[in-house]
Structure 1
Amino acid sequence: MTRLILALQLMTRLPLPNVGADENDFVAAIRWFPATGIIVGLTIAAAMTMGLQSDPWIAALLSLIAWVAMTGALHLDGLGDIADGAGAAHHDREKLSAVLADPHIGSFGVVSIALQLLTKLVLLRLCAEHVPPLALVAVPFAARIGPLAWTLWLPPLHQGLASRFRDGIGASHLLGWTVLAAALCLMIPPLLSAALFIPLWAWWLRSRIGGISGDGHGAGIELVESGLLFALVLAR
């Protein structure tokens, strides 16, 4: 339970009590990232259900607000940083590291965040009309399996949060959540597209950025979520 609470504290803005935890508990919290996605997904589904009592656009807007509020825009920040790094560094590793470490956001980051929010809003609007709200729970859940895979598959970009998680996860943890996601695919077939989006992001990070970081995790979660929403809409 301690590690689940730590994962929720890292990945959401839920008001949770402080727990006594050591370094091992902290690095092992990544094992519970997909579970935090279920909590986020239930919040989104609830907002969608409430909004549908009024209008599909209201439902989409409330869902997006709930999504951003629950995560504190943490993953959007990672998306902006990765966009700035990829856009400004041009394969210069030293410049890339400097851009990623800069707390300020640049034009590439602003554009990427704006486009991501617009993308989610439009896709949520289409989901409001064609997709059962409960199916949305699977989207943030499946996207948060990604950090487990990226941590195992990619070298750390630098010493930091992502590199510390490497000691807290093994292939068995990734396999367990993958089996659960595969079972959900029987009810929500578009969820299978996560098997494409998650490795595709790993490939892009390795070829363009060089490894995984906290920003890479956040950006990947955002992009996989949009991809899964798109798959749900296409399958309607």
Structure 2
Amino acid sequence: MWFLRNLPSAGPTGGPGYPSPVISSAGIRFAFGTLTVLPVRVKRWDRDAARAGMLCAPLAGLVVGLFAAGIGGVLTLLGSGPLLAAVATVAVPAALTRGLHLDGLADTADGLGSAKPAEDALRIMKQSDIGPFGVITLLFVLLAQVAAVAGLYAEGWAYGAVGAAVSAVTARLALTLASRAGIPAARPEGLGAAVAESVPVRTGLAVAALATAGCAAAGTLLGGYGGALHQSLAVLAGLGAAQLLLRHCVRRFGGVTGDVFGALAETAATAALIALALG
């Protein structure tokens, strides 16, 4: 993956010399340096940094979501119409990750669609080309995202902007939960191996509760208690869809990979947007 080539060589893997706070500057650097293309350099590549980084993943999602909301909101206020604003909103997260998550979604779809044993499926996922399953999955996921966001902008620019932010947070929160203890890596190298089982279950659930509460708070700006409930349910829908995919991938591949993480992020974001649009 593009960011792995730019990382420094692995350092110590924790220990007395490396404190292990839940949130740290190393964790923030890890989250933004691996999950976005923002100019943040990852200085540590050890388990403590990986754990803190995945706990900070929703924060990276919030920043990405705010960029997307800003672009879409401005276009809407300038009279672009809901559809064009939706296209721009969906394009921003793809641009801020260089398509990393979409690429992971396509590769995971090809691996799952191959119906081959785990070793062969993982080999297919590592190939640089995209197969028919990947192309079809990308097409429908992007169409669903654009349609859902366009529906939100049709209700008002604030609905689309909040939806963009909430879906981006949900997407990265799914990665936090996928890094919890008990979910092994499918390969001994790559992002999956670096972060797999790095997040304690209770800590991951606490971060999930905090992120969901933040999304609910944003929902109150749109409709009081009903808005808060709507946003909360959208987050839960996104996380639920991602967990179903995660369970299937673990059964098929034996664990998680960087591609699986990308697929989980896109699945969570899409499900959250659909839930918001249906509301």
User: Which TM-score applies when normalising by structure 2?
Assistant: 0.77
Q: Distance in 1 between matches of 2:42 and 2:123?
A: 34
* 1:133 is aligned to 2:161: yes
Selected match of 1:42 from 62, 66, 78:
66
Q: List per-residue Cα deviations over 1:160-184 (Å, max 9, x = no partner).
A: 2212213632124312211213423
| Unaligned residue ranges in structure 1 (runs of 5+) | none
Q: Distance in 2 between matches of 1:129 and 1:215?
A: 33
Q: Aligned-pair RMSD on alpha carbons?
A: 2.0
Q: How many angstroms does 1:202 deviate by? A: 2.2
**Higher relative contact order, structure no. (Cα contacts within 8 Å, ≥ 6 residues apart):** 1
Q: List per-residue Cα deviations over 1:205-229 (Å, max 9, x = no partner).
A: 2333332111111001101100000
The equivalent of 1:72 in structure 2 is: 98
How many residues are aligned here? 233
Larger radius of gyration: 2
Q: List per-residue Cα deviations over 1:27-64 (Å, max 9, x = no partner).
A: 23222111111011101111121121221112112112
Q: Distance in 1 between matches of 2:210 and 2:26?
A: 22
Selected match of 1:177 from 207, 211, 226:
207
The equivalent of 1:158 in structure 2 is: 187
Q: How many angstroms does 1:231 deviate by? A: 0.2
* 1:31 is aligned to 2:55: yes
User: Which TM-score applies when normalising by structure 1?
Assistant: 0.89
Q: 1:231 to 1:167 in 2, by over 3 A?
A: closer
The equivalent of 2:33 in structure 1 is: 9
- Residue identity in the other structure for 2:76: L
Q: Distance in 2 between matches of 1:111 and 1:167?
A: 31
Q: Distance in 2 between matches of 1:5 and 1:171?
A: 22
Alignment of 1:1-236 (within 5 A): 1-16=25-40, 18=41, 20-24=43-47, 26-28=49-51, 29-53=53-77, 54=79, 55-88=81-114, 90-130=115-155, 131-152=159-180, 153-160=182-189, 161-166=191-196, 168-183=198-213, 184-185=215-216, 187=228, 188-189=231-232, 190-235=234-279
Q: How many angstroms does 1:25 deviate by? A: 5.1
Q: Distance in 1 between matches of 2:154 and 2:98?
A: 27
Q: Distance in 2 between matches of 1:155 and 1:81?
A: 19
| Unaligned residue ranges in structure 2 (runs of 5+) | 1-24, 217-224
Q: Which structure features the higher share of helix residues?
A: 1
Q: List per-residue Cα deviations over 1:114-169 (Å, max 9, x = no partner).
A: 22222211111111112251243111112212122222242211112212213632
Contact 1:91 1:209 in 2 (8 A): no
Q: 1:25 to 1:69 in 2, by over 3 A?
A: same
In percent, how many aligned pairs have the same letter?
25
Greater shift, 129-138 or 215-224, is seen at 129-138
Q: Distance in 1 between matches of 2:143 and 2:69?
A: 19
